[in-house]
Amino acid sequence: GLAVARLTAYFGLAAVYAVVGSDSAAEELDRAGIPYEFAESVPLIMNRSGDGRCPIENLAASGGTPEDTYRVLVRFLFGKEDVVHSGVAKGIQL
């Protein structure tokens, strides 16, 4: 979804190949000029119970840029603000 698309742009990956991709992910990847292929395209990535949007997608939507999204997700997942670009900080492997 959008979170993966923004992280792909942030880390400078060349392309995305996914089983499922959202419309917002496709828009973000198009904007970033990153080629992608989804086996299935969906309007949005749903939460586990299927009654709302995935919480990670909600967090990604709150960050305006790929870097903002990276920082929001790291803060949410690890409670850290100072995770370095390499993905390793204070013993945490991303």
Q: Predicted confidence band at 92 (pLDDT cuts at 50, 70, 90)?
A: very low
Domain at 66, CATH number: 3.40.140.30
Q: State which residues form the domain around 49.
A: 2-93
Please tell me the distance from the alpha carbon of residue 92 to that of residue 69, in angstroms, as a whole number. Answer: 18
User: How far is CA 14 from its chain centroid?
Assistant: 15
The predicted-structure confidence for 4-46, as pLDDT tens digits, reads as follows: 999 999 999 999 999 999 999 999 999 999 999 999 999 999 9
CB under 8 Å to 94, separation ≥6 — which residues? 74, 78, 83, 87, 88
Q: At 52, phi and psi to the nearest 5?
A: -175, 180
Please tell me the distance from the alpha carbon of residue 62 to that of residue 71, in angstroms, as a whole number. Answer: 11
What's the number of domains the chain is made of?
A: 1
CB under 8 Å to 56, separation ≥6 — which residues? 1, 3, 45, 73, 76
